[in-house]
Amino acid sequence: MADSAIQMDIPECRDDEYKEVAWAIPKFGSKFEPIWINRPKVQDNHVKFEMHYCGICHSDCHLGLNHLGGSMYPMVPGHELVGVVTEVGSKVTKVKVGDKVGVGCIIDSCLDCGTCKGGDEQYCEGGGNTHTYNSLKTYGHIGGNPDTQNFGGYSASNVVHEHFIIKVPDEMDLEKVGPIMCAGITLYDPLRHWGATKEGSKMCIGIVGIGGLGTMGIKLAKALGHRVIAISTSSNKAELAKNKGADAFVVSTDNASMAAEAGKMDLIINTVSAKHEVSHYLSLLKTDGTIVQLGLVPEPHTVCQLPLIFSRKSISGSLIGGIAATEECLAFCQKHNIFPDTQLVEAKDIDWAWDQLTTLNKDGIRYVIDIKKSLTGEFVPK
Amino acid sequence: MADSAIQMDIPECRDDEYKEVAWAIPKFGSKFEPIWINRPKVQDNHVKFEMHYCGICHSDCHLGLNHLGGSMYPMVPGHELVGVVTEVGSKVTKVKVGDKVGVGCIIDSCLDCGTCKGGDEQYCEGGGNTHTYNSLKTYGHIGGNPDTQNFGGYSASNVVHEHFIIKVPDEMDLEKVGPIMCAGITLYDPLRHWGATKEGSKMCIGIVGIGGLGTMGIKLAKALGHRVIAISTSSNKAELAKNKGADAFVVSTDNASMAAEAGKMDLIINTVSAKHEVSHYLSLLKTDGTIVQLGLVPEPHTVCQLPLIFSRKSISGSLIGGIAATEECLAFCQKHNIFPDTQLVEAKDIDWAWDQLTTLNKDGIRYVIDIKKSLTGEFVPK
């Protein structure tokens, strides 16, 4: 998709900006390089934090490789940012210097529409949310040069409006926190929206696809006290799913295995991001059950509406989660000691880590860049 | 579909049965004839009622013409039964002799599963519901010969377990009540399930398809205090929709008309029963909006999941409604003076009425058989 790639050279650093180290894909098709970027200086409602870690998400690769078209270069990916506050604007009340904080997939939205006010900033109806990177400055809550793009978390610091700062509990180990702000909330928010986090709720929950998202889903649903059924196209992931807490395992290509759990699930969370047929899983749902699609699959599904009618089943979708829900998710993970399975890498290893993510399927390991350590090496800008 | 038609000749009348007049399709492909059928005599929990009217539903034609396969003949159709109680079993507490009553689409279910106990007998998970006709006796709540099929409302009386008897308010005009038990509850129940009958709720509701179901939907949603938008493929139905109470009209084949109401609807109820693409209507929904499919369309839809994910929209379905909901619907219709647009016919006119339903599209008119009058004519069994 070279044609649709957008090259946006970085202008001079303005007075309301500062220079910062980052690791970027300088132009479409290139490998990672250390570069200098401009970040906005702190204004009234802004929070600056020193980056300690940034998770590498599979969707970084999709955007970095311009799989969806329209990617902006140089690109500094990263939407699983964690660090420690070093400066706050005069009007900031949410955090103070020294606090542990994070930033997830979004750094701005209109903050004025019904969904923003309802805590679902990810579904902003006032013009859409602003992604943490590979996005332009739409709403004016982000400082610095308004004509430049936003850069993500593969960098030494960031400055974000306090609304989009996520407070991380003091006791949490920052190394493990980053992926919670993407994989964690992506699974937690649909559980929350469809009633699984309600006190006393007792559900049967299916998780389709046992990768990074799926294993997080199993851990969360299990910690919430539900019966959890892992669903995969083959039995290869059965032991992994069981180790993560699944009560049962369904091989979706095996009729007998599907029949054994037919009509039992209140909720299915489907993490599959390859082409598939959502209808295939409807038989597993109870009356009034819902299957929630999480994967950005552009190929359409073939859906016959008769099972929807005869058992009032629903097909829905879900996208990450809002700021308050993300803080709730962090607190839940802290309380129940739920963390993604992570492996630290340095900035010089990002290309290698992306190769792993795009070619192998490493049982749900999330790679996390150790930013502080990366800054002590040679892979830094001149 | 002659091959799949099932011929079940009517056996001798047993001691626990009585003979009754009915109008039937004697065998696949035949016209209506008056015949004698056997009905179960009243037992402990049974209610016998004299039939005053029975509505003719379009789905009677589908079953009578064996469009779905497996239809049983002789067939006495009719699932919009209304009349007056003439006898009750010793254990009946719900109604007494002289009460106005009705029976809708189902006359039995397991009464023991979660959905039955929750008042959603139509989604019975204990083995499925038993349709008012063209069905066998599964659960033992129906008396008479257990090896015979059930006959519907094109008949002079019926005997039904009190659980499936719907009490009709005394003040209601029976002539208008029958279709409420099918078209009415089919629209009322999804409104109820998705929050539109909650005190104080204020929604924007789309109704797709402005026929018998759609016009009922407009009347109900409007009486509930919501903004109602009628949606049709052409502007032909615009005036009809407005007359029934619609606040706005969308021509779904016109991009500008669709764009004018894009993102505004909390709930869309889709009554279309011809092949169509449900995805086409998703742009009209708000974040968290649901489109509910009502039509028994066997051809699959092509659904891309991205709009579901980016706005947490849902595609669902709904099937008639439970017994308690049907009584609630009747009371609501009585209170707000909402009735289907009906036209009385006699039993001798059933073939004609079916022709109208299967060939024309008469702006939502529901034909209703005047049973008492039909019994005084010559179209009765010898």
Q: Average model confidence (pLDDT) for chain B?
A: 95
Instruction: State how far the Cα of A323 lies from the Cα of A332, in Å rounded to an integer.
Output: 14
User: How confident is the model at residue A273, as a pLDDT?
Assistant: 87
- Chain A CB contacts of B68 under 8 Å are none
User: How confident is the model at residue A61, as a pLDDT?
Assistant: 93
Give the orientation angle of helix A323-336 with respect to helix A183-193, to 10 degrees.
100
Are the C-beta atoms of A113 and B263 separated by less than 8 Å? Answer: no
User: To which H or E segment does residue B216 belong?
Assistant: helix B212-223
User: What is the largest distance, in Å, between two alpha-carbon atoms of chain A?
Assistant: 67
- Chain A CB contacts of B290 under 8 Å are 314
Whether the CA torsion B63, B65, B68, B72 is positive or negative: it is positive
Does B312 contact A193 at a Cβ distance shorter than 8 Å? Answer: yes
Are the C-beta atoms of A310 and B320 separated by less than 8 Å? Answer: no
User: How confident is the model at residue A200, as a pLDDT?
Assistant: 94
The structure tokens 């626990």 sit at B16
User: How confident is the model at residue A363, as a pLDDT?
Assistant: 63
Which residue of chain B is at minimal alpha-carbon distance from A317? B309
Interface test with B, best of A272, A285, A296, A312 (most B CBs within 10 A): A312
pLDDT greater than 90 at residue B362: no
pLDDT greater than 90 at residue A82: yes
Distances (CA, A) of B278 to A244, A269, A312, B242, B328: 38, 22, 16, 24, 29
Instruction: State how far the Cα of B77 lies from the Cα of A270, in Å rounded to an integer.
Output: 42
Looking at A84-88, A354-358, B207-211, which range is the least confident one? Answer: A354-358
Are the C-beta atoms of A324 and A119 separated by less than 8 Å? Answer: yes
Vertex A50: Cα angle to A45 and A55 (nearest 5): 105
Q: Comparing C-alpha atoms, which of B94, B81, B89 is closest to residue B131?
A: B81
Query: For residue A136, what is the DSSP state?
Result: B
- Measure in Å the smallest separation between the Cα of B107 and chain A Cα atoms: 17
pLDDT greater than 70 at residue A67: yes
Are the C-beta atoms of A303 and B300 separated by less than 8 Å? Answer: yes
Residue B206 tokens read as: 């789309």
Vertex B351: Cα angle to B345 and B357 (nearest 5): 80
User: How confident is the model at residue B2, as a pLDDT?
Assistant: 66
Helices (H) and strands (E) counted in chain A, each on its own, are 11, 20
**SS3 at position A347:** helix
User: To which H or E segment does residue B213 belong?
Assistant: helix B212-223
Are the C-beta atoms of B144 and B107 separated by less than 8 Å? Answer: no
CB neighbours (10 Å) of residue B316?
22
Q: What is the mean pLDDT of residues A201-219?
A: 95
- Measure in Å the smallest separation between the Cα of A290 and chain B Cα atoms: 9
Q: What is the mean pLDDT of residues B341-351?
A: 95
- Measure in Å the smallest separation between the Cα of B316 and chain A Cα atoms: 4
The domain segmentation of chain B, as residue ranges, is: 2-182+339-375, 185-317
CB neighbours (10 Å) of residue B203?
20
Please write the tens of the pLDDT for every residue from A182-192.
Answer: 999 999 999 99
pLDDT greater than 80 at residue B216: yes
- Chain B CB contacts of A304 under 8 Å are 298-301
Q: What is the mean pLDDT of residues A68-79?
A: 96
Please write the tens of the pLDDT for every residue from A324-378.
Answer: 999 999 999 999 999 988 999 999 999 999 999 888 656 678 899 999 999 999 9
Please write the tens of the pLDDT for every residue from B114-143.
Answer: 999 999 999 999 999 999 999 999 998 999
pLDDT greater than 70 at residue B1: no
Question: ω into residue B74 within 30 of 0, thus cis?
Answer: yes
Vertex A64: Cα angle to A62 and A65 (nearest 5): 65
Q: Comparing C-alpha atoms, which of B54, B60, B107 is closest to residue B81?
A: B54
User: What is the largest distance, in Å, between two alpha-carbon atoms of chain B?
Assistant: 67
Which residue of chain A is at minimal alpha-carbon distance from B296? A306
Which residue of chain A is at minimal alpha-carbon distance from B128? A310
Q: What is the mean pLDDT of residues A21-42?
A: 98
> A188-317 maps to which CATH number?
3.40.50.720
Instruction: State how far the Cα of A189 lies from the Cα of A168, in Å rounded to an integer.
Output: 17
Are the C-beta atoms of B159 and B107 separated by less than 8 Å? Answer: no
Instruction: State how far the Cα of A66 lies from the Cα of B97, in Å rounded to an integer.
Output: 74
**SS3 at position A158:** strand
Does B305 contact A286 at a Cβ distance shorter than 8 Å? Answer: no
Written as one letter, the residue type at B289 is: G
Are the C-beta atoms of B172 and B100 separated by less than 8 Å? Answer: yes
Please write the tens of the pLDDT for every residue from A262-294.
Answer: 999 999 999 998 899 999 999 999 999 999 999
CB neighbours (10 Å) of residue B267?
25
Q: Which fold has domain B185-317?
A: Rossmann fold (3.40.50)
Q: What is the mean pLDDT of residues B212-226?
A: 96
Q: Could you tell me the pLDDT band of residue A1, with boundaries at 50, 70 and 90?
A: low
User: How confident is the model at residue A364, as a pLDDT?
Assistant: 72
User: How confident is the model at residue A236, as a pLDDT?
Assistant: 93
User: How confident is the model at residue A211, as a pLDDT?
Assistant: 87
Instruction: State how far the Cα of A141 lies from the Cα of A111, in Å rounded to an integer.
Output: 10
Which CATH class for the A2-182+322-375 domain?
alpha beta
pLDDT greater than 70 at residue B187: yes
Q: What is the mean pLDDT of residues B73-96?
A: 98
- Chain A CB contacts of B317 under 8 Å are 305-310, 312-313
User: How confident is the model at residue A2, as a pLDDT?
Assistant: 66
Instruction: State how far the Cα of A221 lies from the Cα of A215, in Å rounded to an integer.
Output: 10
Instruction: State how far the Cα of A184 lies from the Cα of A82, in Å rounded to an integer.
Output: 14
- Measure in Å the smallest separation between the Cα of B45 and chain A Cα atoms: 28
**First CA to last CA across chain B, in angstroms?**
31
Instruction: State how far the Cα of B281 lies from the Cα of B258, in Å rounded to an integer.
Output: 9
Does A314 contact B315 at a Cβ distance shorter than 8 Å? Answer: yes
pLDDT greater than 80 at residue B363: no
User: How confident is the model at residue A302, as a pLDDT?
Assistant: 96
User: How confident is the model at residue A362, as a pLDDT?
Assistant: 63
Q: Comparing C-alpha atoms, which of B76, B246, B108, B101 is closest to residue B170?
A: B101
pLDDT greater than 90 at residue A296: no
Written as one letter, the residue type at A362 is: K
Beta bridge partners of B227: B204
Classify residue B202 as exposed, middle or buried by CB count within 10 Å of its CB (0-12, 13-18, 19+): exposed
Does A317 contact B315 at a Cβ distance shorter than 8 Å? Answer: no
Superfamily of structural domain B2-182+339-375:
Medium-chain alcohol dehydrogenases, catalytic domain (3.90.180.10)
Does B278 contact A305 at a Cβ distance shorter than 8 Å? Answer: yes
Distances (CA, A) of B284 to A290, B80, B213, B250: 21, 33, 20, 10
**SS3 at position B301:** strand
Q: Average model confidence (pLDDT) for chain A?
A: 95
Q: What is the pTM of this model?
A: 0.94
The structure tokens 């699944």 sit at A246
The structure tokens 């039992």 sit at A264
**Cα-only R_g, chain B:** 21
Please write the tens of the pLDDT for every residue from B264-292.
Answer: 999 999 999 889 999 999 999 999 999 99
Instruction: State how far the Cα of B9 lies from the Cα of B11, in Å rounded to an integer.
Output: 6
The closest CB to that of B306, out of A298, A310, A318, belongs to A298
Please write the tens of the pLDDT for every residue from A94-130.
Answer: 999 999 999 999 999 999 999 999 999 999 999 999 9
User: How confident is the model at residue B298, as a pLDDT?
Assistant: 85
- Chain B CB contacts of A305 under 8 Å are 278, 293, 295, 297, 300-301, 315, 317
Written as one letter, the residue type at A119 is: G
Are the C-beta atoms of A129 and A326 separated by less than 8 Å? Answer: no
